[in-house]
Amino acid sequence: MPIRLTTYEIASITNLSEQFSLGENFITAFAESLEGITELFQLVGAGVSEFRAGRVVMIGLLNHAHHNLAGALKALEDGNAIVWANCVRSLVEVFGACVLIAEEPGKVANHLEAFSAGKLYSAAERGQPGLKGDIKKLHGIVHPGPGSIYSALEPEDIGERTTRVEFGLRPVTKENGLEAMIVLANLALWIEERIRLLAEDGRVLAIGKRIMVVT
């Protein structure tokens, strides 16, 4: 059965596959995760008229993950490292939310209120040890600190300490692009797997008060 993606996902995946010489197996696995997130959104949101807190949270997380994956892919196409980093950081938070919900399903409704980013990052680290270091790197790119301030400088000769100043977006190298795509593929897979377990269980979707009714 062919993998079904949105038109913008197909466009980004096609362009980036050519730009970074991505292997067919890698692209297929990544596309399956992207499709899985869309499929889960349809599964959780279809066939029911009453949306309780747990179902609303699951739908929101899936939609948020989709937006950030699409945004990160487009940012790679455009050579926008800061937007890519922001999207990836948000995906780590979605993954952290999935870990928290799996740990304490009865508290799923808490995610309808403001939530500490620190708790999400700690949960993400529990779900995938090693993410804490990645989060620090992402903060360094997103916030106006060394990671972003030096982004306008492109070293030419380390020994002579010469550099050139560049304004605006710039193409991503093949090496960095491949690494960035692996990060996205891993996050898409982890999020899809976590939410699928929660959604197919069914109990989390029924937790909490009724939020809305679809007519």
Rounded to an integer, the average pLDDT of 48-61 is 91
Does 197 have pLDDT greater than 70?
Answer: yes
Pick the closest to residue 91 from 115, 113, 62, 119 (CA basis): 62
Provide the pLDDT for residue 123.
96
Range picked from 1-5, 35-39, 134-138, 165-169 for highest mean pLDDT: 35-39
What confidence category does residue 132 fall into, taking pLDDT thresholds of 50, 70 and 90?
Answer: confident
Banded model confidence at residue 215, pLDDT cuts 50, 70, 90: low
DSSP conformation class of 171: P
Mean model confidence pLDDT for the chain: 90
Q: Which of 63-72, 94-103, 156-165 has the lowest mean pLDDT?
A: 156-165
**Rounded Cα gap, residues 13 and 152, in angstroms:** 27
Interstrand relation of 50-52 and 153-157 (parallel, antiparallel or unpaired): unpaired
pLDDT of residue 190: 97
Q: Among 118-132, 157-171, 182-196, which stretch is predicted with the lowest mean pLDDT? A: 157-171
pLDDT at 1 over 60: no
Distance CA 23, CA 14 (A): 12
Average pLDDT on 83-105 reads: 95
- Long-range own/partner contacts, residues 14-22 (CB < 8 A, 24 or more apart): 15/77, 16/73, 16/76, 16/77, 16/177, 16/181, 19/77, 19/172, 19/174, 19/177, 20/172, 20/174, 20/177, 20/178, 20/181, 21/174, 22/178, 22/181
Percentage, residues of the chain above pLDDT 90: 63
Global confidence as pTM: 0.90
pLDDT of 139 reads: 80
Strand partners, 212: 51
Q: What pLDDT was estimated at residue 3?
A: 63
List the structure tokens of 87. 């999207």
- Cα separation, 166 vs 205, whole angstroms: 49
Nearest to 39 by CA among 212, 188, 211, 215: 188
Through-space distance between the first and last CA atoms of the chain, rounded to whole angstroms: 33
| Cα–Cα distance for residue pair 44/23, rounded to 1 Å | 32
| Domains of the chain, residue spans | 7-213
CA–CA separation, 122 and 99 (whole Å): 10
- When pLDDT is cut at 50, 70 and 90, the band that residue 2 belongs to is low
Three-state DSSP class for residue 105: helix
Does residue 146 have a pLDDT over 90? no
Q: Is the Cβ–Cβ distance between 97 and 122 less than 8 Å?
A: no
Q: What is the mean pLDDT of residues 97-126?
A: 93
Position 71 pLDDT exceeds 90? yes
Residue 210 confidence (pLDDT): 87
Decide: helix, strand or coil at residue 4: coil
Q: What is the pLDDT of residue 6?
A: 94
Residue 206 or 190, more confident: 190
